[in-house]
Structure 1
Amino acid sequence: MVADMKVGSEAGSTEVAQSVSGQYLSFTLGGEHYGVDILRVQEIKGWEEVRALPDTPEYVKGVLDLRGAIVPIIDLRARFKLEKIEYTPTTVIIVLSIEQGEGSNIVGVVVDGVSDVLDISDSLTRSAPDLGAHINTRFITGMVSEGERMVVLLDVDKLFSPDDLGVLGASG
C-alpha cells in the first residue's frame, strides 16, 4: 500500500501555453508512461473504495470524502478505453486541481502506479503526433523520451471537458 503523500501546490501554472518545461509526476497505465504537471498534483493516496454514483459514465468510479471535500474519482484506464484490470497494492489515486472557465475543481484519477518526478525542458519535448480525426489528442501537450521509455505529457485541464465536470459536479 502506498502511503498518502503531499507533493504539489494548489497554484496553477503561469507558463506560456506552448511551454511544457517543468516538473512532471510520471505514472503508469497499461504499461505506458504518462506525466502531469506537478503543480497540479495535490496529493497521492493509496487506493480505497469510493461511493458509487448512479447514472454516471463508466470511467467515473464514484466520490471520496477527502478531509471534508467531496472529490470525484475517475479511472483513467476506463477514460482512455484501456483493458480493465483488478486494482493492486500499487494502484493509487492522484488528486489533481483542474482549471476550467473561471473556477477550479478537484478530481482524483486512478492509475496503475506512480513512477517518479521528471524534470522536463522544452528542448527535449516533442509535439503530440497527428493521429487523424478519429483519435483525440487534445489533452496531450507533448511527448518526451526518458531513458528507455516514452512519456506522454497530459494537460489535466483538457483531460475532462466542461460537460464531464458538470456530470461530476463542481467540487472546488
Structure 2
Amino acid sequence: MAANDATETTLDEPTQVLEFDIGDERYCVELDAVAEIIDRQSVRALPDTPPHVVGAMDYRGVTTTVIDTASLLDVGSNPDAPRVIVFDDGDEDSKVYGWLVDEVERVADIDPENVDDAPFGGDHTKGIVRRDEGLVVWVTPPTDGSE
C-alpha cells in the first residue's frame, strides 16, 4: 500500500483505536497495530538516524527503535515523553518500534460517520474523528518506524 492510500481508505464499519495525547492534542491509531503500551525505559542513542529517532531500547529482548512522535508528526518535539506505544507486527523481518507519547487515554470505537478527511498531516494522517469532547487526529504508524 502506498503511503497516501491510508488517507483514501473508506471505513465501512466501526474500528477500534487507541487514543493518546501528545501535548494538548489527542491522536489515535488502530488498535490492531499496537503490541503493547509500556513506561519509557532507558534509551541509548543511535548514530546516523533521522531527527525523530530518539534511540533504541530493549523491549522483551528485542532492540526497539524509539521515535519522538511529536517530531515525526511535525507538531513539535518531546523526546522525554513518559509512555511508549510499541508496534510489532510479529514478522521476523520487520522492525519493532515505539512511539513516545505523553499519555495513553483509552480504547474507543470509531464510527465511520464521524471521520472526516484530514486537511493536514501528510502521509501519517488518516482522518479527523469528531467527538463530543473535541477532535481526534487519526494517524497511521509507518510500517518500519523510521519514515
TM-score range with shorter-chain normalisation?
0.7 to 0.9
With over 3 angstroms needed to count, the CA separation of the structure-2 counterparts of 1:112 and 1:70, relative to structure 1, is: same
Match of 1:55 in 2: 48
Structure scoring higher RCO (CA < 8 A, sep ≥ 6) equals: 2
Structure 1 144/81 Cα, relative in aligned 2: closer, same or farther at 3 Å? closer
Question: How far off its partner does 1:69 sit?
Answer: 1.1
2:140 corresponds to: 155
After TM superposition, the score normalised by the length of structure 1 is 0.69
Matched residues in 2 for 1:86 and 1:56: separation?
14
Give the aligned residue type for 1:92: R
User: Whole-Å Cα distance in 2 between the matches of residues 149 and 72 of structure 1?
Assistant: 31
> For residues 68 and 85 of structure 1, what CA distance do their matches in structure 2 show?
25
Q: Identify unmatched segments of 5+ residues in structure 2.
A: 1-8
What is the alpha-carbon distance in structure 1 between the residues aligned to residue 16 and residue 144 of structure 2?
18
Alpha carbons of structure 1 residues 120 and 92: separation in structure 2 relative to 1, 3 Å: same
Q: How many residues align?
A: 137
Q: Any idea what the Cα deviations from partners look like across 1:124-165, whole Å, max 9, x if unmatched?
A: 111112x5xxxx5222111112222200111124695xxx36
Counterpart selection for 2:102 from 93, 112, 119: 112
**TM-score normalized by the length of structure 2:** 0.79
| Corresponding position of 1:7 | none
What's the counterpart of residue 6 of structure 2? Answer: none
Residues 44 and 75 (structure 1), Cα distance of their counterparts in 2 relative to 1, 3 Å cut: same
> What root-mean-square deviation, in Å, do the aligned CA atoms of Structure 1 and Structure 2 show?
2.6
Paired residues of 1:139 and 1:158 also in contact (CA < 8 A): no
Name the residue aligned to 1:126: 116
**What residue number does 1:94 align with?**
85
The CA distance in 1 between the partners of 2:32 and 2:75, in whole Å, is: 26
Separation in 2, partners of 1:143, 1:96: 22
Aligned partner (choices 76, 87, 90) of residue 69 of structure 2: 76
- For residue 18 of structure 1, give the secondary structure of its aligned residue in structure 2: coil
Q: Which residue is equivalent to 1:12? A: none
User: Matched residues in 1 for 2:144 and 2:24: separation?
Assistant: 20
Which residue of the partner structure matches residue 32 of structure 2?
A: 39
- Code of the aligned partner of 2:44: R
Which runs of 4 or more aligned residues in structure 1 lie more than 3 Å from their structure 2 counterparts after TM superposition?
Answer: 81-88, 157-160
| Aligned-residue offset at 1:97 | 3.2
